[in-house]
Amino acid sequence: MNVIRTLAAALLLVPAVAAAHVTVWPKESTVKAWEKYEVRVPNEKQVDTVAVEVRFPAGVRAMSFEQKPGWMTEPVRDASGKTIGVRWTGKLPPKQFAEFGIIAVNPAAPGELKWTATQTYADRTSVEWSGDKGSKTPAPRVTIRAAASSN
C-alpha cells in the first residue's frame, strides 16, 4: 500500500516539474490593450539564477517595468533607442520563483506573440527559452484576440 501511495505522490509531481520554464501571463489579451504582463521565472537548478533577459515580440511596446527589491532592471534597446527587451539581474535561489511585471501596449493585429527569454545561472550556464511548443525550452506565448465589438 505504501508503494502505491509513493507512486501516486510521484505522479502528482511530474506536471509541476515538466512545467518548470519561463512563462508570460496572462496567456490571452486583446489588440491595442494596455496590459500588465508577468514574467514568471522558476529556478529548477541547484545554483542561483542571476539574470533574466526577455525580448519582446514585434508590435509590443513596453511602457514600464516593475522594480523588484534586490534586483536591478535594465531596458534593452536597439540601435535606434527603441526598447526591445529588459534584463533583470539579482539572485533567485534554487527551488524558488520570481515574477517580474511589465506594462505594455499590445499590437494592433490579433495573433500569437512569441516572447523569448534567457535565464542565466551563477555557474555561468544559461537556458534559452525560445523553442517551439512542446520542446524542452519552449518560448512563452500570448494570444492576442480582436477586441469585442460594442453595439
pLDDT, position 148 = 81
Instruction: For the chain, give the mean pLDDT.
Output: 89
Which residues have C-beta within 8 Å of that of residue 109, sequence separation ≥ 6? Answer: 31, 59, 144
Output the pLDDT for position 147: 87
Q: How far is CA 149 from the centre of its chain?
A: 30
pLDDT in tens, 110-142: 999 999 999 999 999 999 999 999 999 999 999
Using a pLDDT cut of 90, give the percent of the chain over it: 83
User: Would you state the pLDDT for residue 51?
Assistant: 98
At 151 the pLDDT is 60
pLDDT at 24: 98
Give tens-digit pLDDT for 7-37.
Answer: 444 434 433 334 579 999 999 999 999 999 9
The 3-state secondary structure of the chain, one letter per residue = CHHHHHHHHHHHHHHHHHCCCCEEECCEEECCCEEEEEEEEECCCCCCEEEEEEECCCCCEEEEECCCCCCEEEEEECCCCCEEEEEEEEEECCCCEEEEEEEEECCCCCEEEECEEEEEECCCCEEEECECCCCCCECCEEEEECCCCCC
Backbone φ and ψ for 113, nearest 5 degrees, come out as -95, 130
Q: How confident is the model at residue 6 (pLDDT cuts 50, 70, 90)?
A: very low
The whole model's pTM is what? 0.84
pLDDT digits 0-9 by tens, 32-51? 999 999 999 999 999 999 99
Domains of the chain: 20-144 (2.60.40.2230)
